[in-house]
Amino acid sequence: DTGVSQNPRHKITKRGQNVTFRCDPISEHNRLYWYRQTLGQGPEFLTYFQNEAQLEKSRLLSDRFSAERPKGSFSTLEIQRTEQGDSAMYLCASTPIGPPELFFGEGSRLTVL
């Protein structure tokens, strides 16, 4: 399977714990995006990378959130000191340079108890 891969698919954690999600984009896709989706809403932009450079971050990305793409391939999204309001589906997407037709992974669902 050469699509966007996200792990874990589902994470249940207690409030205050740290969680990390991983995204493996489609090979040779330069751009990688993180979005968050809550029930009944559309995906909300969090951040994006072009190769290893983080070029834009949403104001939704508080200082408890950090994203990296160290070698321009896979990316991680870490949430520190999780809160119940962080419960959502975290979506990763990638695209090559050109029209922004993002290819999404299946998402990582976070449940904070």
List binders of another protein among 16-75 (CB under 8 A). 33, 35, 40-45, 48, 56
DSSP 44-64: EEEEEEETTEEEEE-TTS-TT
* DSSP-assigned beta bridge partners for residue 19: 79
Give the span between the Cα atoms of 91 and 34, in whole angstroms.
Answer: 6
Q: Which of 93, 94, 110, 112 binds another protein (CB under 8 A)?
A: 93
Please count the residues of this chain forming the interface with another protein, following the rule CB under 8 A: 22
Contact 44, 101 (CB under 8 A): no
Would you say 79 or 107 has its CB closer to another protein?
A: 107
Would you say 17 or 41 has its CB closer to another protein?
A: 41
User: How is residue 23 written in tokens?
Assistant: 């995204």
Using CB under 8 A, list all residues that contact another protein: 4, 33, 35, 40-45, 48, 56, 91, 93, 99-107
